[in-house]
Amino acid sequence: MIEQDTSYEALTEIILGLTEAKTGSSDPQLRGALTVLLQELTEIENKGGLCLEWKSDDEKLRCIDILKSAGLIAEGADLDTAHPYQMRNVCLFVADRSEPGKVRIYSHRSFFGESRLAANIAALAKAPSSGAACVDKLDALEAKAKEMGAFQLNDGQRQAASLALQNNFSVICGGPGTGKTTSVVRFLEVALQNCPEASVTLCAPTGKAKSRLNESVIYSAQERPNLYPLVKKAADEERIQSLTIHKLLGTPLSNGERPSRTNPLETRILIIDEGSMVDEHLADSLFSVIDPHTTKTVVLGDKHQLAAVGPGSVFADISNSSGPLSRFSCELTESKRFKKDSLIHKVATHILNLENKTADLHEFEALFEGAETNGAFGAVGLFYDKPNKESGLSATAKKWLEEKINGYAAAVKSLRQTLSTIKLDDAEETDTQKLPQPLHDALKVAWNSLSGFRPICAQRRGAFSLDAVNRFCDQVLRKKLNCRNEDEFYVGKVIIVRKNDPSGISNGDVCILLPIWFKNEDQPSWYAYVGDLDRLYPAMLLPSYDTAFGITIHQSQGSGFDDVAVFLPPITNKELEDPENGAVSLCTRELLYTGFTRAKKSCLIFGSPASVELSLSRVTERTGGLQDRLREKFKNSANP
């Protein structure tokens, strides 16, 4: 197979060739200008940015004049951004001067994608809503909750639910345990009073995130059917669907056609979770198929978490408290995941408060002093001991991992013992609702043991990496269970699915492998148990998967575990000076905050002084102008 060269040098040659063919002449200055722009734009896009940002007095701005004379760049002010769907084949690049003292340079795709996204969000926000009267109903529901002795919304959560009721578009921002989902369930119950037969769609960027959102909403309705009768009724009638965003965009509607701008989603209420994981391109695709007059949309997320893997910082832009959408957003700050006097809460709060001051490594390290008692791991821990070259892990890291795997191994041994006593009649009995109760119970015990801890890693390869963690955990568990190293499958092996599958299993789903014996068969059949879904899938039919005793910090978003170990690259001060070192680029405050706040009871950090200090001080910055595009949409609006 021949690989295409898509470097900026190759793109420069292609564009120069097309330009010369069109004009019949060549400009010697054009090559230099095009090379500068493409090289820098490529570097920015590789870092998740959408555009170049040059100061208004930068000498490189002369490149714009050269490209403009060749018809390769247009001024954003000259384009009709009010009708983004009509902007086709204008030019290759766009220069945007909407922010004083700065010039942004976009590719055609990025500028018009950003303009479309802003137009669609603004249309949603401006759409009239009949939800103002629902606030009284929310008060009545709160009074009912008080009478029943149920949880009552705090002021921030009540504001969030009210905001969602009163607007067709709203953003609820908050860290783990702040009650985003709780606010949404109250909102849904009141919204369904206005429209009892409405359909509700819960979606998220990953299968794991959409499953957790669906589980939380359905559990609330089942746990409190008298408080949430309409949510329970909608769930019982299968009017609440849960999909990944990609699945939602690819699923045909009632007319047999996939969602599009002219064939919008039919759902009346759309809840989008883990908004920080949604990149600009995916957001553009999603908001392009939402009808602002029929679908009420609520976006949930944590602006302090890691930015999306793809380009842009959509959630940070739409949740900015001083941005153009500030009246449509609110932030929840009171967390129930950590007690206020807990060490985890103190460390997490310290990381967040670095927004307003300079990071001090010694001040951060002082938070961990005295946490370890009598040689046992404490609620928090910070460890700098160097990893072994062969294993990629330190002795302390191995000790923690072995403790956790030993606990899990005990549950797996019990599961294996139960499996040895049971033979099923046929594959239909692998429905978890039909499994013999002892087997179902043993599965749940093993799953709960696994879900109680999780090592999460910044990098996939190298020291303190996901590969090192998974390799060590696999070795420990095989040894505890007396399993052969050459066996691909063994009872208790943990995997993570890497692709969505029509069977219902999704990218990001974690599974436990186990053998099930059937009567009249000489060999067992292997199955994967997805505890989040409480379902079994034939292992041989699974899409691609990886070993997953540990996961990446990116994969951990939206999850929570009692005990967490965060593994940062053990970089040295000398390595900090190497711009080509990929491990250095991973260390950011968002990554550290995301990893640390996955923990409910305890969290240990393994790394080096250099990686921890860099993570505390370095903030992810992505270039883009979504907030300026949104301001343009509201500029002449009577209903901002």
The whole-number pLDDT of residue 156 equals 95
Looking at the structure, tell me whether residues 240 and 206 fall in a common domain. yes
Residue 372 or residue 351, greater confidence = 351
Residue 427, pLDDT score: 76
Residues 332 and 441 in one domain: no
Q: Higher pLDDT residue, 487 or 373?
A: 487
Same domain, 363 and 297: no
Which residue would you say has higher pLDDT here, 571 or 372?
571
- Domain match, 227 and 319 both: yes
Query: How does residue 638 score in pLDDT terms, banded at 50, 70 and 90?
Result: very low
602 in the same domain as 470 = yes
259 versus 212: the higher-pLDDT residue is: 259
Given 337, 365, 389, which residue is the final one in a domain?
337
| Residues listed for the chain | 640
The answer to whether residues 151 and 207 belong to one domain is: yes
Q: Assess whether pLDDT exceeds 90 at residue 320.
A: yes
Q: What pLDDT was estimated at residue 502?
A: 79
**Residue 101 zone, left/alpha/beta (φ > 0; ψ -120 to 50; rest):** left
φ/ψ of 39, rounded to 5, equals -65, -50
pLDDT at 639 over 60: no
Rounded to 5°, the CA angle 272-208-476 comes to 155
pLDDT at 83 over 70: no
Q: In this model, does residue 220 exceed pLDDT 80?
A: yes
Q: Which residues pair with 606 in a beta bridge?
A: 383, 567
For 355, phi then psi, to 5°, come to -60, -30
Residue 3 has pLDDT above 80, yes or no: no
77 occurs within a structural domain: yes
**Which pLDDT band, with edges at 50, 70 and 90, does 132 fall under?**
low
Q: Is 634 a domain residue?
A: no
Question: Is 91 a residue whose pLDDT tops 90?
Answer: no
Mean pLDDT is lowest, of 76-85, 218-227, 439-448, 504-513, for 76-85
58 vs 589, higher pLDDT: 589
Sheet bearing 51-55, strands edge to edge: 51-55, 102-107, 93-96, 73-75
Whether 33 and 143 share a structural domain: no
State the DSSP code for 441: H
Asked if pLDDT for residue 87 goes beyond 60, the answer is: no
Tokens for 215? 């589980």
The reported pLDDT for the residue numbered 596 is: 95
The average pLDDT across 503-507 equals 81
Reply yes or no on whether the pLDDT at 373 is more than 70: no
Instruction: Tally the domains of the chain.
Output: 3
Distance separating alpha carbons of residues 630 and 165, to the nearest angstrom: 22
Which percentage of the chain shows pLDDT scores above 90?
Answer: 67
- The answer to whether position 628 is within a domain reads no
The answer to whether residues 101 and 132 belong to one domain is no
**Residue 517, Cα to own-chain centre: how many angstroms?**
38
Rounded to the nearest integer, the mean pLDDT of the chain is 90
Confidence bin at 88 (pLDDT 50/70/90): low
How far apart CA 318 and CA 303 sit, in angstroms, is 9
The token pair at 252 is 């045909």
**540: its two tokens:** 């041989």
What is the rounded average pLDDT of the residues 323-339? Answer: 90
Query: Measured between alpha carbons, how far is 200 from 192 in angstroms, rounded to an integer?
Result: 10
Q: Are residues 161 and 259 in the same domain?
A: yes
Q: Are residues 365 and 485 in the same domain?
A: yes
Give the pLDDT of residue 4: 38
Residues contacting 479, CB < 8 A, separation 6+: none
Model confidence over 149-196: pLDDT tens digits?
999 999 999 999 999 999 999 999 999 989 999 999 999 999 999 899
Nearest partner of 71 among 87, 91, 57, 86, judged by Cα? 91
pLDDT at 529: 96
> What is the token pair recorded at 14?
């292609």
Q: What is the pLDDT of residues 228-270, one digit of tens each?
A: 999 999 999 999 999 889 989 999 999 999 999 999 999 999 9
- Structure token digits, residue 335: 């967390």
Residue-wise DSSP of 87-104: --S--SEEEE--STTEEE
Last residue in a domain, options 59, 78, 108 = 108
Kindly state whether residue 343 falls inside one of the protein's structural domains.
Answer: no
Distance, C-alpha 110 to centroid of its chain: 21
Nearest CA among 601, 610, 559 for reference residue 581: 610
120 falls within a domain: no
Instruction: Indicate whether 438 and 291 sit together in one domain.
Output: no
Domain that holds residue 52: 6-108
Q: Does the residue 350 lie in any domain?
A: no
- For residue 588, the domain's CATH number is 3.40.50.300
Per the confidence metrics, is the pTM higher than 0.85? yes
Cβ pair 623, 109 in contact under 8 A: no
**Concatenated DSSP letters of 522-583:** SS-EEEEEETTTTEEEEGGG--SEEE-SSEETTTTTT--EEEEEEE-----TTGGG-TT-HH
Task: Tell me, yes or no, whether 135 and 260 share the same domain.
Answer: yes
85 part of a folded domain: yes
Task: For residue range 598-621, list pLDDT tens digits in order.
Answer: 999 999 999 999 999 999 999 988
Q: How many whole angstroms separate alpha carbon 215 and alpha carbon 440?
A: 19
Residue where one domain finishes, among candidates 108, 143, 167:
108
Instruction: Measure the CA–CA gap between 206 and 204, rounded to whole angstroms.
Output: 6
Asked if residue 635 belongs to a domain, the reply is no
